[in-house]
Structure 1
Amino acid sequence: MTAESRRIARVLLDSPLPQLDRLFDYSLPAELGDAPLGARIKVPLRTAGRVIDGYVVELGVEDDADRPLSEVDSVVSPVAVLPERLHRLARRVADRAAGSASDILRLVIPKRQVRVEKAWTGDSPVTAPDPEALAGATALLDAYDGLLDVLENHGRAAVEAIPGIRDDGPAWAALLAATAVQALGAGESSILIVPDHRDLDRLLTALAQIAPDETIIRYDSRQTNPQRYRSFLRTLEDAPCIVVGNRSAVYAPVRAGLVAIWDDGDPLLGEPLAPYVNARDAALLRQEQEESALLFVGHTRTTDVERLVAHGWLRDVRAARRVLPRVVLSTPQEMEQPTAQRLPSSAFLAARTAAAEGPVLVQVSRPGFSPSLVCAECRAPARCAHCGGPLGARHRGAVPVCGWCGRGARAWACPSCSSTKLRLASSGSERTADELGRAFPGVRVIVADSAHPVERVDAKPALVVATRGAEPLADGGYRAVVLLDGPRMLQAPDLRVGESCLRWWSNAAALAAPGAPVHLVGVDGGTARALATWNQAGYARSELESRAPLHMPPTARVALVEGTAAAVSRALIALGELALPPDAVLGPVPVESDDEPPRVRALVRFDYGAGSRVATVLRAAVVAEAVASRRGRGRNPRSALSVRLDILDPEL
């Protein structure tokens, strides 16, 4: 370096402002010493008159020492928390979603913990799995046609998990644990993604039986800040490990040889913060970048995954010998009987017979005693007089309570007919348990829902009334499964309601013991047939075929553009230069809010091939509006334009 040259650091600022989502050049003073690539630093932001955090992305030497540059204020830590592979992934994911890379990094890089960092050595030993455990994992994976080949050649696959219980846990958890041990045996790290904490605990239990403890790295929001930072630092090392976590763990900076996602249709895998990227999409981009193996495992098949299977992007992997649940559909004659309002005779007899031998699972749609009440005279929904929220009863004879504001309605009167009498409109988990307790005298009844979490039940006779997704494991599996409230579940205002119901029912049916009956009550049509024949992939294909003529997701991508009328208009004009189809834009329509000036919303449908161009144009529009807003009106708490790609179907 000559006397006229100087060291330059190209820095990514940790800021949510869209106009700052790029690399900035800063001069690196000699007194700060070396700043490693990926290190945390503090730099001045002249436009804001303050010092903010950032990451060193590139280092170089510049001969033009006369160019005015601000100097790096300080090096916060020498630890390279942003390796080059993580920055490339964050940049690519953000560009696809028309968002900021700093918003992606905020999900994966925890706050610095000085004590944890000082105690970290960064040289964890390489630990191989036990040969016996590795042999068992290989034997389990060999039961799936082509799965070992996918793992060895770093391919991509949609895997239909075998339903049932294995080693006192769900069979899918044993499958994912086996894939991770197989990758560990090849000297590679793996990332296992599950939707919620119940699935996480079950997967950790399965891993603890076959994987070395020091290789299992838990990464989820239930950890304390020191625990999370300790786990993150371990993922920076080269020693192979198994990262297990929820949606944000898909960005863990390990050199992954495998990324596997369980139940990708669960909405919990969708990030609720900007730029709202689903873990499935992030995993696809990561696999393309790192060429690791990629698995989508589930009892059902989402339309998103089925689209990739149809295009040949994913390989369809199933078990060589499929042992499927025995699903029984209630007949129309049974449902016409006056006593079969919720439980037809065949399901009642099956439950009574099975309850004498062991636990019986009864799945219901909602928790509580009676989630909703109606007027006993005109059947109008009972609403709170203060906020208009729905009234419900916590138990029989209780004062109705508003589900929104929590106020009691002691002197309720129907605004339509002035009646003061209420009627139970639906049955929740507690009311169902109350009714079944009277119908099955002498049998213990267990309620499992959000208010009464239950992880496991023993093999003794019992009726387990659980809401969807809260079903506990049963020792040896349930002797019978009864799926209630199917028609009510299918009435939800959701484009993917059939797909969601099939996932809920399939996951519950997978908990049954071998040969145990699974009764689906009151449902017919394509969804019921898909469950009865265990052909969830066929149902996903039919859904894709029905959506294709309408250009609805996932056959096409959809972007939501919201802001002031002028800002949305300018963004749509810019999109018009991309020669999108004439019916690509829906709207704009007014948004109900008290904002001034009023805001409007538009939807833009486009093909996957046009995704990068659409994202680039929309991101440029967001940056332009943010800059204009700051110059014209100072600091605006809400941007004049916001963009969200790949919105959830209910928002359509």
Structure 2
Amino acid sequence: MPRHLNVARVVLDNPLPHLDRLFDYEIPEELDEICVPGVKVKVKFSNRNMEAWVVEKVALSSHHKKLSEISKVISNYPVLTPEVLTLSQIVADRFIGNLTDVLRFAIPPRQAKIEKAFKFESIKVPKKDSKEDVTHSSITIPPCVDKDVAIIDSVKKTIKHGKQSLILFPNIYLVEEFKSTLILKEPGVKVQVLSAEQEPSVRYSSFLEILGSNTDVVIGTRNAVFAPLQNLGLIAIWDDADENYYSQQSPYWNAREVAILRARLNGCDFMSFGNCESVAINQLIKDKEIARVPFSDSDSKNYWPQVFTLDNSSSDPIERTKRIPNKAWELVKEGLKSGNVLVQVPRLGYSSNLQCSSCRESARCNGCSGPLLTKQKNSAPECKWCGKVASSWRCRYCNTREFRISVVGQTKTVEELGKSFPGVNILTSGGATILRAVEESNSIIVATPGAEPKTPNGYSAAILLDAYLLLGVPSLAASEEALRKWLHLLTLLKPESDGGKVFITSESTNRVVQALIKHDTNWLIDNEQELRTETKLHPSVTTISLKGDLKEINQLLETFNNDASISVMGPRIFEKEELAQIVIGTSKPEDIISKVRSEIIKFSVARTKPVRAHVNAYDID
């Protein structure tokens, strides 16, 4: 008896852009039952064995020659669901990439032992009910308020409606922390964690459990946005501006945009939580695609610590130039009486930057010209780039052998604090040694941004040292990033009503500091969004960064030269790498993305050097 659906349409697991399309293969009769859409197979292509995903089964093929047969079905499990396939194709089109590149993020590597232990029969596709009151919203939570309460409340409402929730966090530590809190407060909820940081077997087991619909809530990091949930009611993301949400591999997608695309595709709720909005979310609020949900009494002293700046220290100009002003010392001394004190230092080591003591030129490595630093007191300077010890260093401008410290690091800060507070326990957190929690009392903790440990009942006081290093970062997101890092520190403090205080070594006139003093973080984000609109930068427009060989970049420039609907920055030449870069800005991204994709496919067919396309990158670089 002839089989009705005897042809499989597959997408090859191959990174070449010109092979990013469907190919037809005949299904051998012995594989007919197990070769279904969603499974991975082996096929012959150009005399090579390749893996491929079965997308659909059809009766007839438009291929006029005799079709090659599928060699093998790698796994009987249809792990690629139709909804994830559709989402992956949308993401590939949006970020100028290949479908298979996206599928590598969506489907974790197969673990045969885990598959054998898993019961395929348990996989059920629930009936989807359309949700009429879909909301896309953003909630800004003050720093001294427990974020988990608001997120768990949204999860409970979703479960009540018989739907599943997907919660995204920027790192595995926050994932595990939220999971523990959720299980403690809602013990009956079925929870799965999905993250690339898990052991491969654990990750694949979680993936199969989610695929089998045996879960209410999935909590994960960036790649979990593709979790095969089949009855989604809510996608929530915490701190969506975090750089960890941006993929560093082609097609350079970011979790916030994919989460919004998936929420629209599924017709489910989307919620962005954070201590401040991202500029991208702010733009969507301005465009009325997302609603801003106010937090009641958000500027209360019960939700914020008291903020001090250099303007609160002294009118003496010499006092204001000190790295640690007297007011900061007073806060440390006072804070130690009632609890722990946190000191944030932007740099590790003893000194993260050295200068010639004579001419004040930056001390550079004689080999690679990288900046020199010292890791310990009296240690020889080392190159930050190549790691060579510069024990015989001489200034290339004045031949002096002496150098001075221009940027103090964590180690020297501990030394200075130890001299001023003898007998006080001082702990460090940062680099390879990160503390997650501190049980000791009346101690000083010196930490780098993002490595600040929690302490029971919160810190009594905090000092933000060398604020200029964070505020002066040459980055498009410098102000937003500084605000986020400082807000994270503020979440660890007691509120002002309980005596919590923070000292920032910056003038109160700075915009980031002003937002903290005003207790209105979105005031700064509103301002940033207006600046981006004036300068025609993301997110007011879609930006496409194109980097490759100068010849190919010049061809792209010629293609878009006469297009009045776009703006072009560059080309920027990287002589060392022999590469060039341009950045295209457009308010009509669909047409431009399609044109760029067509040009990249032409380069691939001609076997020229590849051009890397990066849509809405975290930074212009």
TM-score (normalised: structure 2): 0.92
1:519 has 2:503 as partner: yes
**Residue 163 (structure 1) aligned with residue 148 (structure 2):** no
CA distance in 1, matches of 2:323, 2:486: 16
Task: Tell me the distance in 2 between the aligned counterparts of 1:552 and 1:493.
Answer: 15
Decide whether aligned partners of structure 1 residues 564 and 428 sit closer, same or farther in structure 2, where only a CA change above 3 A counts: closer
What CA distance in whole angstroms lies between the structure 2 residues aligned with 1:334 and 1:458? 38
> Which residue of the partner structure matches residue 155 of structure 2?
180
Aligned to 1:102: 100
Q: Which residue of 1 aligns with 2:491?
A: 510
Q: Which residue matches 2:589?
A: 611
2:602 matched to 1:624?
yes
Residue in 1 aligned with 2:331? 350
Q: Which residue pairs with 1:225 in the alignment?
A: 200
CA offsets 1:103-149 (integer angstroms, 9 cap, x no match) = 111012122111100111246699xxxxxxxxxxxxxxxxxxxxxxx
Indicate conservation of the 8 Å contact 1:334/1:345, yes or no: no
How much does 1:20 deviate? 1.3
- Tell me which moved more, 553-562 or 73-82: 553-562
In structure 2, do the counterparts of structure 1 residues 339 and 566 end up closer, same or farther at CA, with 3 Å as the change threshold?
Answer: closer
Most deviating of 253-262 and 212-221:
212-221
Contact 1:553 1:649 in 2 (8 A): no
When residues 258 and 59 of structure 1 are mapped into structure 2, their CA distance, relative to the original with a 3 A threshold, is same
State the distance in 2 between where 1:468 and 1:277 align.
Answer: 25
Distance 2:225 2:210 in 1: 12
Decide which of 521, 530, 533 is 1:548's aligned counterpart: 533
Query: Are the equivalent residues in 1 in contact too, given 2:171–2:221 (CA < 8 A)?
Result: yes
In the aligned structure 2, how far is the partner of 1:438 from the partner of 1:339? 21
1: distance between equivalents of 2:143 and 2:11? 46
Give distance in 1, aligned partners of 2:307 and 2:5: 73
Amino acid at match of 1:330: L
Which residue identity does 2:241 align to in structure 1? G
Q: Secondary structure at the match of 1:226?
A: helix
Counterpart residue number, 1:402: 383
Residues 506 and 513 of structure 2 are in contact (CA less than 8 Å); yes or no, is this contact kept in structure 1? no
Q: Kindly state the Cα deviation for residue 294 of structure 1 after the two structures are TM-superposed.
A: 1.0
- State how far apart, in whole Å, the 2-side matches of 1:378 and 1:90 are: 56
Q: Please name the residue that 2:8 is paired with.
A: 9
Query: Runs ≥4 in structure 1, deviation > 4 angstroms?
Result: 63-67, 122-126
2:264 aligns with 288
* Equivalent position of 2:210 in the other structure: 235
Letter paired with 1:230: S
Q: Paired residue for 2:128?
A: none
Distance 1:309 1:114 in 2: 46
Verify the 8 A CA contact 2:7 2:61 in the aligned structure 1: no
Q: Is 1:539 matched with 2:524?
A: yes
Distance 2:325 2:61 in 1: 83
AA paired with 1:86?
A: V
2:445 & 2:382 partners in 1: Cα distance? 26
Separation in 2, partners of 1:649, 1:65: 45
Letter in 1 for 2:288: G
Q: 1:589 to 1:393 in 2, by over 3 A?
A: closer
Counterpart Cα distance in 2 of 1:193 and 1:294? 11
User: SS at 1:544's partner residue?
Assistant: helix
Hey, what's the Cα distance between the residues in 2 that align with 1:334 and 1:219? 53
Which of 151, 163, 174 does residue 199 from structure 1 map onto? 174
Shift in Å, 1:644: 2.0
C-alpha distance in 2, partners of 1:51/1:505?
52
Q: Which runs of 5+ in 2 are unaligned?
A: 125-130
**Stretches of structure 1 lacking an aligned partner (at least 5 in a row):** 127-150, 166-170, 630-635
Aligned to 1:252: 227
Aligned length in residues: 604
Identify the residue that residue 645 of structure 1 maps to in structure 2.
Answer: 615
CA distance in 2, matches of 1:574, 1:395: 54
Q: CA RMSD in A?
A: 2.3
Conserved 8 A contact 1:173-1:206? yes
Is the Cα contact below 8 Å between 1:160 and 1:298 reproduced in 2?
A: yes
Tell me by how many angstroms 1:576 deviates.
5.4
Counterpart among 287, 291, 307 of residue 315 in structure 1: 291
Output one character per residue of 1:262-310: Cα deviation in whole Å (capped at 9) or x when no partner: 1111111110000101111111111110112111111112111110111
Equivalent residue for 1:587, pick from 560, 570, 574: 570
Query: Any idea what the Cα deviations from partners look like across 1:235-288, whole Å, max 9, x if unmatched?
Result: 212233321221111111112221111111111111000010111111111111
| Structure-1 residue corresponding to 2:191 | 216
C-alpha separation in 2, matches of 1:199 and 1:287:
22
Q: Say if 1:162 and 1:600 are closer, same or farther in 2 by CA, change over 3 A.
A: closer
- Matched residue SS, 2:74: strand
Does structure 2 retain, via aligned residues, the 8 Å contact 1:181–1:210?
no
Q: Provide the residue aligned with 1:50 in structure 2.
A: 48
Aligned-residue identity in percent: 29
Question: Who is 1:73 aligned against?
Answer: 71
Alignment-mate amino acid for residue 235 of structure 1:
I
Tell me if structure 1 keeps the 8 A contact 2:310–2:320.
no
Measured in 1, the distance between the counterparts of 2:423 and 2:63 equals 87
Q: Larger deviation: 314-323 or 431-440?
A: 314-323
Q: Distance in 2 between matches of 1:354 and 1:21?
A: 61
Assess if the C-alpha contact under 8 Å between 2:84 and 2:106 holds in 1: no
Partners of 1:219 and 1:231 within 8 A in 2: yes
Greater mean deviation of Cα atoms: 207-216 or 186-195: 207-216
The question of whether the paired residues in 1 share the 8 Å contact of 2:545 and 2:620 is answered with no
CA contact (8 A) 1:174 1:206 kept: no
Q: Match for 2:569: what amino acid?
A: L
Secondary structure at 1:371 match in 2: strand
Instruction: Find the aligned partners of 1:576 and 1:373 in 2 and give their Cα distance.
Output: 45
1:433 aligns with 2:417: no
Q: C-alpha separation between the residues in 2 aligned to 1:192 and 1:368?
A: 36
Equivalent position amino acid for 2:437 in 1: R
Q: Would you say the 8 A contact 1:335–1:344 is kept in 2?
A: no
Structure 1 CA distance for aligned equivalents of residues 27 and 296 of structure 2: 60
Q: What is the SS of the residue equivalent to 1:373?
A: strand
Conservation of the 8 A alpha-carbon contact between 2:319 and 2:326? no
Equivalent in the alignment of 1:268: 244
- CA distance in structure 1 between the aligned counterparts of 2:5 and 2:432, rounded to whole angstroms: 62
CA contact (8 A) 2:191 2:215 kept: no
SS at match of 2:375: coil
SS in 2 for 1:356: helix
Q: Provide the C-alpha distance between the structure 1 equivalents of 2:115 and 2:139, rounded to a whole number of angstroms.
A: 39
SS in 2 for 1:273: coil
